[in-house]
Amino acid sequence: MKPITEMTPQELAEASAKALWNDDSASQRLGMVMDHLAPGEATLSMIVTPEMSNGHGTCHGGYIFMLADSAFAFACNGYNQRTVGQHAAITYLSPGRVGDRLIAACREVSLQGRSGVYDVCVTNQDGVQIAEFRGLSRTVKGTHLPVDG
């Protein structure tokens, strides 16, 4: 691996995401896929399985929240600083259905010091908006990759 000081912002985001993904068994076990990654951005997707359905026959909101939260995590951890969610809220707009491919696209709205604001739009494969999520992040001690020198 290239020394961190020689990495482009995109390379740093990708290396940080890879390190985070390696220990993220929750996202992996749900079959999430990382579709896009850039500094302050991440898009993850997953297929809604029958095991994810609720009593209404639609995708349980907890799974939608988890997909959005994972996209949030990868977006805010792309700077090689360990970053955690401090607060998150979601608004459900349309139901996800078994067989849908849900796509959570996260973008950084603000990053000031140790605090960040991120918005995640969750859609299905047809572009129907399923949910809007806003996450507030906080950097904590530590890095994902060893710091040079």
The pLDDT, as a whole number, for residue 146 is: 85
The pLDDT, as a whole number, for residue 2 is: 79
Classified by CATH at the fold level, domain 4-139 comes out as Thiol Ester Dehydrase; Chain A (3.10.129)
Q: How distant is the alpha carbon of residue 129 from its chain centre?
A: 17
| Radius of gyration in angstroms for the set of CA atoms belonging to the chain, rounded to a whole number | 16
| Residue numbers in the chain where pLDDT is lower than 70 | 148-149
HEC string of the chain equals CCCHHHCCHHHHHHHHHHHHHHCCHHHHHCCCEEEEEECCEEEEEEECCHHHECCCCEECHHHHHHHHHHHHHHHHCCCCCCEEEEEEEEEECCCCECCCEEEEEEEEEEEECCEEEEEEEEECCCCCEEEEEEEEEEECCCCCCCCCC
The pLDDT, as a whole number, for residue 94 is: 98
